[in-house]
Amino acid sequence: MKIVVLDGYSLNPGDLDWDILNEFGEVTVYDRTTAEDVIERSKDADIILTNKVEIDRTTIQELPKLKMIAVLATGYNIIDCKAAREAGVTVTNIPAYSTDSVAQMVFAHLLNIINRVQYYTDENRNLRWSNNPDFCYWDNTFHELAGKKIGIIGLGHIGSRVAHIADAFGMQVIAMTSKHQEELPLYINKVEKDELLRTADVITLHCPLTEDTANFICADTLSLMKPTAIVINLGRGPLADDDAIAHALREHRIAAYATDVMRQEPPASDNPLLSAPNCYITPHIAWATYEARMRLMEILKHNIHAFIYGKPINVVNK
């Protein structure tokens, strides 16, 4: 069995061990692979592992030995699943490995915006506190999370975890979800879209990217929000309209925007969010804690083991 990892660096920059896959056969790991090199590097592979390298119909047709594509993430839109199914190639993903990590990043962003810890750390390194005439100083009005209303778009694994943490902070939790109110914990109230947008102090996106949710945060939805609203996107970049958000931030129509995902990754140097005020951007790392990546590797191992022994799991192209 020959296994080829096309873009292993983002998952494992050196602190994990690909040797856990050696029991399945010969493993070749490439840190990065361009579109032009995919076929050449994969021509003898029985199993391809990919995170963000696209595998389209043409590529699948050029790889007659291929039996399995193991996506190193939850999302699998980079794979032509229909073409894979027609070719008898099994496609698997890694579900629910980063729930706690992503939920944690939501509150890392939120607390950073509200408490401005890094800002004051930087100020004090420049001796502002040392030269201050009073025992303390601050440049903005602080707020408690307790009592504030958080609106969650989507109550899957991550959205539900965010709701649980928000409740522990004493926040009021409202949500847009396909679930019925009777299915939800007592601390979550299901509401309609307009009510959530108009009343939430914090709006956080955890829904899948579909035709209905693309550009969910746009000029129209932003116009409904409080000028003090904080918007957080740790879902998918295309859930948000970058231009509309940058414009709203510059006009102070929302208080802040925090995101870990962009429409284009890496973002273009002229992306308006990079220069927008009160915009906080992390480089798609919410999923990437050591614990989450270890968990991903273990699920990957189980996926390959189950496939080899004829009982595939986490299959997304049945």
The gap from C-alpha 83 to its chain's centroid, in whole angstroms, comes to 26
Which element (helix H / strand E) includes 82? helix 81-86
Look at residues 160, 158, 120, 156 and name the one whose alpha carbon lies nearest to residue 138: 120
C-alpha angle 260-266-268 in degrees, rounded to nearest 5: 110
Contact between 30 and 5 under an 8 Å Cβ cutoff? The reply is: yes
Helical packing angle, 99-115 and 290-308, nearest 10°: 160
Which element (helix H / strand E) includes 159? helix 157-168
Calpha distance 294→298 (Å, rounded): 6
* Dihedral sign from CA coordinates of 205, 207, 210, 216: negative
Query: Catalytic amino acids?
Result: 236, 265, 284
19 CB-near residues (< 8 Å, 6+ apart)? none
State phi, psi for 206 to the nearest 5 degrees.
Answer: -140, 35
Torsion of CA 293, 298, 300, 303, to 10 degrees: -160
Tokens of 301: 């191992």
For the chain, the first-to-last Cα distance in angstroms comes to 23
DSSP 256: E
Which element (helix H / strand E) includes 150? strand 149-153
Tokens of 23: 């029991």
Contact between 63 and 251 under an 8 Å Cβ cutoff? The reply is: no
